[in-house]
């Protein structure tokens, strides 16, 4: 029961901030894909930069464990290409469409329906996917610091510098 309340409260805070950041809109999502309005990229990178530092500090203190997904190149690359195609058509991603509906953008309903159908199709095809795409390039639960054999504190600053450069470019171009 506690976990359900945690989930609800975390979701409410997340949805509140997504709405405040104005990233729930079709125009913003498509704007990012067209590289014309980078609001979402600014929001997302800021979030990742803060979270990666905080979570790794907690991990070093032994307070949290990472929850790694398996790296399977076939499934990851093919899946993300397919995802991008659908994202461009719909203009919302799975989480933001829930928030878009919350601020009255009810075309998100079509996306939610489509996504439930898409999840059902995935479940139907799972036995096939498991024996094909999901066996191509399975590297297990790895992280970038593991692969490079360096401390995560060598990787995190590189990502942060990259993010800051992206921010500077966005601000200079006014996008």
Partner 1 sequence: MKSSKDSGWNPYLAGSLTGVVAILSVWIGDKFYGVSTTFSRVAGMIEKYIAPERFATIEYFVRVAPRIDWQFMFVIGIFIGALISSITSKSFKWVAVPDRWRSRFGSSILKRALFAFVGGVIAMFGARLADG
Answer for which of 60, 62, 126, 145 binds partner 1 (CB under 8 A) is 126
**Token pair in block for residue 88:** 């461009």
- What is d(CA 68, CA 136) in angstroms, rounded to the nearest whole number? 18
137 scored as a contact of partner 1 (CB under 8 A):
no
Element (H, E) at 138: strand 138-140
110 scored as a contact of partner 1 (CB under 8 A):
yes
128 scored as a contact of partner 1 (CB under 8 A):
no
**CB of residue 29 to partner 1, shortest distance in Å:** 9
**Token pair in block for residue 43:** 């929001």
175 scored as a contact of partner 1 (CB under 8 A):
no
**CB of residue 158 to partner 1, shortest distance in Å:** 18
**Token pair in block for residue 26:** 């079709």
Answer for which of 64, 147, 154, 158 binds partner 1 (CB under 8 A) is 64
153 scored as a contact of partner 1 (CB under 8 A):
no
Q: Which residue shows structure tokens 């905080």?
A: 54
- Angle in degrees, 0-180, between the axes of helices 108-131 and 73-90, rounded to the nearest 10: 160
81 scored as a contact of partner 1 (CB under 8 A):
yes
């Amino acid at each position: 029961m506690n976990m359900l309340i945690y989930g609800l409260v975390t979701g409410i805070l997340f949805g509140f901030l997504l709405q405040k950041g104005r990233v729930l809109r079709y125009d913003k999502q498509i704007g990012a894909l067209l590289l014309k309005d980078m609001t979402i990229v600014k929001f997302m990178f800021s979030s990742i930069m803060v979270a990666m530092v905080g979570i790794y500090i907690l991990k070093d203190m032994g307070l949290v464990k990472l929850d790694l997904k398996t790296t399977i190149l076939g499934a990851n690359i093919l899946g993300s290409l397919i995802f991008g195609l659908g994202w461009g058509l719909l203009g919302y991603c799975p989480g933001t469409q829930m928030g878009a509906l919350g601020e009255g953008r009810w075309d998100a309903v079509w996306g939610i329906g489509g996504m439930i159908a898409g999840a059902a199709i995935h479940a139907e095809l799972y036995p096939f996917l498991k024996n094909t795409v999901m066996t191509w390039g399975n590297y297990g639960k790895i992280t970038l610091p593991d692969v490079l054999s360096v401390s995560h504190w060598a990787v995190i600053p590189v990502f942060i510098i990259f993010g800051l450069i992206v921010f500077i470019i966005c601000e200079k171009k006014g996008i």
